[in-house]
Chain A
Amino acid sequence: MKAKGKILLVDDDPDFLEMHKAVLENRGYEVFTATSAQEGLGRVRVEMPDLIVLDLMMEKHDAGFSFSKTIKTDPLFRKIPILMVTSVAEATGYRFSFEEDGYWMKTDDFLNKPVPPEVLLETVDKLLQKREK
C-alpha cells in the first residue's frame, strides 16, 4: 500500500513523537521525526514532507515560531501546511485564537496538547485535503 502522505513531526518530547507517530502510521502515513527545530529544518529539505506537526515549546521557548516563519517565508516550502501543537496556552494563561494569531503564528492550525488521536487524524486529513485543492 502506498503511503497516503509524508508527515514530519517536530517535538522535543520523545513520548509525543512516538504516540503521534503510532497514530499517523496506523492511518497509513509515512512519518519522520525530529527532536529540535534545527534537525527539523534539515528533515524538511531532505524529505519534502506533505505536512508538518510542530511543537511550539522546543529548546528555546519560541523555537516553534521561528521554525514556522522560516518555512512559511521560503518559496520552496511555504505550501507545506503546519499544524502547531502546543501546551503553551494553559501554562502561560495566554490563549491563542487561530483567527487572531494565525497569521502571526504563520501556521495553518493549532491544537492543544495532548491531542486525542481522532482529533489529530481529523485535522491532518483536513489540512491535506485543503492542500490538494
Chain B
Amino acid sequence: MNTQGRILVVDDEMGIREGCRRVLAEEGYDIDLAEDGNAGLRRALEKSYDLVLVDLMMPGIGGLDMIKKIHEIDPEIIMVVITGFATIETAVEATKRGAYDYLPKPFTPETLAVLVKRGLEKRELRLEAQKLHQEREQKLLELAGEKSRLRSIIGCMADGVLVTNLERQLVLWNASAMKMLRLHGTDEPGKPPSHYIKNQPLIESLEKIMDSKDDSVSMISQEIPSDDQKSVLMVQMAPVRDEQGRLLGAVTVLRDITKLKEIDKLKSQFVSMVAHELRSPVAAIEGWLGLLLSGEVEKDEEQKRQWLWRAKERAQSLLALVQDLLEINKIEAGKIALKMESVQVTDILGKIVEFFKPEADKKKISIHIKSSAPLPLLQADVQDMEKLFINLISNAIKYNVEKGSITIETSLDANYAGIHIHDTGIGISRDDLPRIFDDFFRAENGKTDKISGTGLGLTIAKKIVDSHFGRIEVKSELDKGSTFSVYLPCRI
C-alpha cells in the first residue's frame, strides 16, 4: 500500500499531525510524522519522501526555511505549506521559495486528499522529466563521443575519405584526402565540391552519383590521375542512403595506387622482354627445321647436319635461358627464406676452379687462387654462393683471350670479406659498364658475337649478393680485362 507515496507531515500541533495521518493513511499512503523542523529534517535525511506537508509557523525552524533545507536534500520533493495565516503574501512567498502549493487552515479531509494526490502526480511528472533529461544528456554525450571517434578513425586512414551531403556540400574529409586532392579552402565550409576539388573527373563522378534517381548507380570505381599527373588515384564512390533508401549524400574513398601501377609496368616490361628473348631462339630453331623440311635447298648431308647442329645450339641456349629465369625466380622467392649456414668461401672457390679447369685448358687460360687474406667463416647460403662464383668465373673464362689468366684474390676489413676475380679478357666499355647488371643486357661488339649467354648471369649474381646484404663492384678496361669484386658482410 505504501507504493502510492511516502509522505512526511511536520507540524507542532498534534491535532493537525494526527488528523493528516488519519486522512492520508486511509488513502493508502505511507505516513511519517514530525513535531518540529529539526525532527522533520532528520527524518528527511533518513528516508526519501515524495511529499512533505510542513507548517509555516513553528518554533525553531520555520516552514520557509524547511522548504529550502528539504530541497537541498532532494529538489524534486513536493512541498506543501500548511498555514493558518492564509494571506496572499505568505502563499506567494512560499511558492517563491519552491513550495508546490499551500493549504489554508482549517482544511477538510477532501481538500487535503485532493491536494496530496495532485502533488504526488506532479512529483511523478517531475521525476519522469528529470529521467528524460538525463537520458537526453547521455545520448548527446555519446553522440559527441561517436562523432569524435569517427573523426579520429577517418583521420588516421591512409586512404582519403570525402563525404558530401544532399546539397553537395563537403561535410567530412580527412588529411589523406586533402593531400591527394590538394583540397583548397576547406576553412570556408558550405561551398560546392568544385570550390575545394580541382579534379574534374572526380567532380563529374560525384554529380553522377548524386543525380542517380533510382538505385541504378550503387557504386563508381575508377582510376583518375592526380592534378599534377604524377600519381594515379583509385576512386570508389558510393551513395549514402537512409533506411528508406532516400539519398543523403555520397562517400568517396581514394587510394594512391601510383606504386602499384609502376610495379605493374615493370612487370609487363619484364614479361615482354622475356617473351622476346624466348622467341628469338625458338624462331631460329623453327627456321632451321622449316628450311630442312621444305626441300627448297639442294644441299649435301654434311651441310644439313651442320644446320641441325645450329638448331641444337639454339635449343641449348633456350634451355639455359629458361634455367636462368627459374634461378632468378628462386632467388627472389628465397629472399624470405635463405638457408644461412657457416661457409668457407675459399673452399667453394677451389671446387669451382677445379670444375672449370677443362674448359679453361681449352683456351689455355691459367687460373690462380691467391689467398692473400684468410677469410673467416661467413654466414651465407651455400647453393647461392656456388651459383654466384660459377657465374663470375665462367664469365672470366668466356670473355677471356687465348692464353689469358684469371686471378682470384681475397681481402678482409672490419665489416666485409672481399673476393676479387680478375681476368685478362676483352673488358667492358665505359658505355656498357653501367648496364651490365640489367636483365638481358649483353655487351655487343665484334668480340662477343661468338660467345653464347643469356644476358642474365650478372643479374643473378647481383641478386644473390643483394640478398646477402653484400655488394658487387666492377672495374674494367677495354682489351685489358675486368675485375669483379664481391663484398660479403662478416663479423670477426
Range class of the B interface residue count: 20 to 34
A93 within 8 A of B: yes
What 0/1 pattern do residues 75 to 110 of A give for CB contact below 8 A with B? 000000000000100111100000000000000000
Please state if A116 and B290 are interface contacts (CB–CB under 8 Å).
yes
Among B66-74, B207-215, B293-301, B333-341, the one that faces the other chain is B293-301
Interface residues, chain A, CB within 8 Å of chain B?
Answer: 12-16, 18-19, 22-23, 26-27, 35, 57, 59, 87, 90-93, 113-118, 121
Please state if B276 and A22 are interface contacts (CB–CB under 8 Å).
no
Please state if A90 and B287 are interface contacts (CB–CB under 8 Å).
no
Partner of B287, one of A35, A59, A115, A121: A115
**Which residues, 335 to 356 on B, are CB-close (under 8 Å) to A?**
none
Interface centre among B276, B283, B314 (most CB of A within 10 A): B283
Please state if B287 and A91 are interface contacts (CB–CB under 8 Å).
no
Partner of A87, one of B272, B280, B294: B280
CA distance A27 to B297 in the complex (A): 8
Please state if B283 and A113 are interface contacts (CB–CB under 8 Å).
yes
B257 within 8 A of A: no
Please state if A93 and B272 are interface contacts (CB–CB under 8 Å).
yes
Please state if A13 and B275 are interface contacts (CB–CB under 8 Å).
no
Please state if B280 and A118 are interface contacts (CB–CB under 8 Å).
no
What 0/1 pattern do residues 275 to 286 of B give for CB contact below 8 A with A? 110011001101
Please state if B284 and A16 are interface contacts (CB–CB under 8 Å).
yes
| Nearest Cβ on chain A to B263's Cβ, whole angstroms | 19
CA distance A118 to B298 in the complex (A): 14
Please state if B283 and A87 are interface contacts (CB–CB under 8 Å).
yes
Please state if B296 and A19 are interface contacts (CB–CB under 8 Å).
no
Question: Given that A59-B444, A87-B279 are contacting pairs, would A114 and B284 also be in contact in the complex, using a CB cutoff of 8 Å?
Answer: yes
| Nearest Cβ on chain B to A57's Cβ, whole angstroms | 8
28 A-B pairs with C-beta separation under 8 A: A14-B449, A15-B287, A15-B310, A16-B283, A16-B287, A18-B310, A19-B288, A19-B307, A23-B294, A23-B296, A26-B298, A57-B276, A59-B444, A87-B276, A87-B279, A87-B283, A90-B275, A91-B275, A92-B272, A92-B276, A113-B283, A114-B284, A115-B287, A116-B290, A116-B294, A117-B296, A117-B297, A118-B294
Chain A residues whose C-beta falls within 8 Å of the C-beta of B290 in the assembled complex: 114, 116-117
**Which residues, 308 to 322 on B, are CB-close (under 8 Å) to A?**
310, 314
| Nearest Cβ on chain B to A46's Cβ, whole angstroms | 19
Partner of B291, one of A19, A27, A92, A113: A19
CA distance A59 to B442 in the complex (A): 11
User: For residue A91, which residue of chain B has the nearest CB?
Assistant: B276
Please state if A23 and B297 are interface contacts (CB–CB under 8 Å).
yes
